[in-house]
Structures are given as structure tokens and as C-alpha cells.
Amino acid sequence: TAPLPWGDRLFATWDVGRPIEVDPTDFGVIGEVGSAATWGPPTLELGGLMPFYFSSAHPVIDPERNCMWTVKLTPNPDLTMQLTVVRWDGEDHRVATWPLPGTLVGGSAHNISQTRDFLVLADSGNFKTDPAEVMGGERTVTIDSEVSLYLIPKDLLEATPSGSEVAAERFAVSPTTGHFSACWEDADGVRVIFEHQDLMDLGWSIRSDDLDAAGHPVRPELAGMYHMAMAPSTLSEVVFHPGTGRSTPTARVRGDWSWNLQLSALDWSIEGLSDPRLHHVVYQGWRPDAVAQRVLAHYRDRLEADPLGGHPAEPGVGALVTFRRGGLEEVGRWEFDDTTDLAASPTFVPRRPGAADDAPTRSRHAGVDPGGHGGWVVLPVLSDRGFRVEVFDASRVADGPVATLSAPAGTTVPLQLHAAWMAPRAGPDLDHERLDFVGDLNPDAVAALTPELRRAVHEVAGSSDRVDAGQR
């Protein structure tokens, strides 16, 4: 799902597995984060070669405790899931885990965030399992209108033996949210910016026999695509008050133009997260060709109750919009007038990263003026005319791109989800113990493979003797 830098190291992260460390120079696989022995029983017993875990597509790197925080999800009989916090110090194959009793999620833990003192976990309620669909029937389950958010003190986790339960404090968030980010400083409360997904149900996909929102047969190339938003998206800031169960909304943006909020670019340095100034958001516009009448029928009542629930007659333009943190005032906008363009996955690149003479204590990945304005927004744009990457001055997005990189000969890219910036380096960091994936292989599953597939496993492992012996 996403690239996650950790200093000079790079990880590939997803909802349906452990994070995987990759070589930042050629993306070769280095090893998974944590052994199955320390992660504990798999989420589901699928009988595959490797244990299966539901996790988070967006773990976080703690710059002060020098660790990675993520989660493991365990299903309940009613198809909700319970959260377990997972902590990895990056040094060997061991992780620490803490079950969080009562932390039920109906969707997933797609995104997690943190402050100096708290982990911030939320139910990403935009994808829910439908038991009837699992058994081969038609999908009828719809997304929630409100989801849970949990705060967990980091000090409490680290003072508790691994494997022991830790209590989390619950809050409510509405509407459902795909991605969110907390301000690092939390002395005055836990301040979170939410990129909500109003009536965007990722449990549904476009089918080849669907009619789109305008009543036309769907384009064949969209079959299998995720279902896009049926209502405009909300951007909000909320302050949560630990120990009280209370939260205070401080800003909210939603309009007839804010369709399909996709992703955002922000300054991920500790300086930028401590005092965020600008937040850059990509909206992909109203996309009637990626909305099915079959799904609209299931949401008719909720759409009719929504003041912005009507649908424009024509596709809407996408936009890169800059908001000032604190009040979410719009300070810059660049629109993509061609509605066949699909801007996706912006990332922030700081100007002059690394310590300088004027700021010797600045972290390596902070720019000269941290906060989301002193640098560049790098934005991929998908188009049938050819893939391109546009670069904007982060402080002057409304001026348009200052540079564009175009793919040769109209080269296209089918889809883009998430991007990240990291400082260049010569090669992978080899100073840490890595997990040998052979140790997590299921020997019974290996033995049941065809000879051809078994040879492929041996080739990846580098030694058939080690695999056949089932070494752990």
C-alpha cells in the first residue's frame, strides 16, 4: 500500500501483512518486521506458506523512542476485530505486543498516528466485511456513520510486560476517515487532522455489468476498480482531551467541490509535526464513471438526507488545495481542468534538508523552514495521454507547477497509491539483524506444493536443505 522511510531504511506496508523492509536503492526484499513467534498466532489460519496477519497500512516511526509502532487485528465471531499494539525497535526479529481489550473495529486499522505521549488508533470504517458476500452472495453491508478512535499512552505500554493487556480510551469520530495525522506536541490535547471519506465505501468495487452514475455502461477498464465517493469529502481538525472522553472540533471544510479527497502532503519531520503550518490535499473531483447505480441504490436514504448529496451532471475537476493548519483556511488552489487527469499521491519534499550552520540541532529530514511550506509538493498525475509528475512550490501552490517530468512516448501508469520522500543514500543499512523468512515457513505447506513451486521456494530461500528441514 505505502512506502515508509525510517531514516536510511525503507519499508513497504499494507493492511494484510507485516511491514516488509526493502532495499531503498532497488526495492529488493530484505526481511519482514518481526517473527511469527513474537507476533503470535496469525489473524486467520489460511494454511499458506507464511502466517497471515491483518495489520496497518500506515505504521508510524517514533523519532524519540526510536521504534516502529503498528497493530495486529484479531477477528471476533461477529466479524469485528480487536486491536493489539505491536512495537519493534528495528534491531532484530522480536516485537513486543499488548492486546487492547474492548477496542473493537468494524473495518480496519488502515492508518495509525502518534503524538509525543500517545498512540492514536482509529477504525477505518470505509471497508467492512459482508458475511453474505464472503459466502458467495450479494453485498448489502454499508459503511458506518460514526467510528471509534482510541488513545493509548506510550509510557503505559512500555511499562507493561509484552503480552499483557493495556487499556485504551475511546472517542467517537464522524464521518469515517481513511487517513489522519496527529500533531506531535500534546500538552494542550491531542490535535488530529482527519481526511474523511464521506460515503466512500471501499467494500464495493465496479463490476463489468454495472451502469455508472449517469446511467451509462461502465468502461471496461474500470471493472474491478474501487468504488469512488458518492458525496463530497470532509477535512476536519479535532482536539481530543485524554482522560475526559471529550473532544473539541476546531475546524471543518466541506463543499460542493470537495469530491474524492484522495491523499495529502505534509512535513513528516519531527519539527514539522510539532508545529505544522500547511496541509496540502489532493481532491480528484466528482467521478460519475466510477460510481455504480447498484451501489447508489443501497445509499439512497443517506444521500437524500445529505445537504450535499446531489450529483453534478458532469465530471468535476480535480485540485491540489493548500490549507493553513489551525483553522483550515484555504491559502492556495491549483485545478486540473482536464477531467481525464487523475492527480494522486502527493508528497512533501523539504528544501535543504539536514542540519545547517544556522540550525545545528535540526533533524536530518527537516528543511530550513519546517511545517509544510518550506519545500516542494511533488504530485504524480495519471493520464491516458501519459504519466507525469508535477512539482509545486509548497508556499505558492496556486502559481501552478514549477517543473514537470513527463514519461516518454505516452507511457501510462494504471494506479498510484501513496508516495514518500527520503534522503538519498548509497545502499541498504546492513547493521541490523534481519528476519530470515525461512524461519516462518509452514513446512507442511511447503511439502504440499508441486515440485515446480517447491523449487521456486528453494530458489528464494537460497537453500533447499534449510527449507526441507523446516528450520526456525
Q: Please, what are the averages of pLDDT over each run of 10 residues along the chain (472 residues)?
A: 92 95 88 93 88 96 97 90 97 95 93 98 89 87 93 99 98 94 98 96 95 96 95 98 97 98 96 97 97 96 93 95 98 96 96 68 82 97 94 98 91 90 73 76 89 87 47 36
* Helices (H) then strands (E): counts for the chain: 9, 25
Radius of gyration of the chain from its Cα atoms, rounded to whole angstroms? 23
**Residue 467 confidence (pLDDT):** 40
**Residue 426 confidence (pLDDT):** 60
pTM of the model: 0.93
State the Cα–Cα distance between residues 454 and 313, nearest whole angstrom: 55
Count of structural domains within the chain: 2
Residue 285 in any domain: the answer is yes
Residue 213 in any domain: the answer is yes
**Which phi and psi (to 5°) does residue 49 adopt?**
-65, -35
Among 317, 338, 362, identify where a domain stops: 317
Residue 356 in any domain: the answer is no
Residue 204 in any domain: the answer is yes
State the Cα–Cα distance between residues 220 and 76, nearest whole angstrom: 37
Query: Which residue range(s) make up the domain with 458?
Result: 436-472
**Residue 427 confidence (pLDDT):** 65
Same domain, 51 and 189: yes
Among 379, 211, 197, 213, which residue's Cα sits nearest to residue 282? 379
CA 281 vs CA 195, 258, 260, 347, 468: distances in Å: 9, 10, 11, 10, 50
- Decide: helix, strand or coil at residue 446: helix
Residue 295 in any domain: the answer is yes
Residue 419 in any domain: the answer is no
What is the distance, to the nearest Å, from the Cα of residue 147 to the centroid of all Cα atoms in its chain?
17
**Residue 319 confidence (pLDDT):** 98
- Where does residue 309 fall: left (phi above 0), alpha (psi -120 to 50 degrees), or beta otherwise? alpha
Among 294, 317, 340, identify where a domain stops: 317
The dihedral through the CA atoms of 292, 218, 203, 15 has a sign that is negative
Same domain, 198 and 63: yes
**Residue 366 confidence (pLDDT):** 87
The residues pairing with 97 across neighbouring beta strands, listed in sequence order, are 86
Among 253, 287, 317, identify where a domain stops: 317
**Residue 363 confidence (pLDDT):** 82
Among 315, 290, 130, which residue's Cα sits nearest to residue 210? 290
- Decide: helix, strand or coil at residue 39: helix
Residue 203 in any domain: the answer is yes
Residue 385 in any domain: the answer is no
Same domain, 451 and 302: no
35-43: long-range pairs with CB below 8 Å, 24+: 35/93, 35/94, 35/95, 35/435, 35/439, 35/440, 36/440, 37/472, 38/93, 38/94, 38/95, 38/96, 38/97, 39/72, 39/86, 39/95, 39/97, 40/72, 40/84, 40/97, 43/72, 43/73, 43/74, 43/75
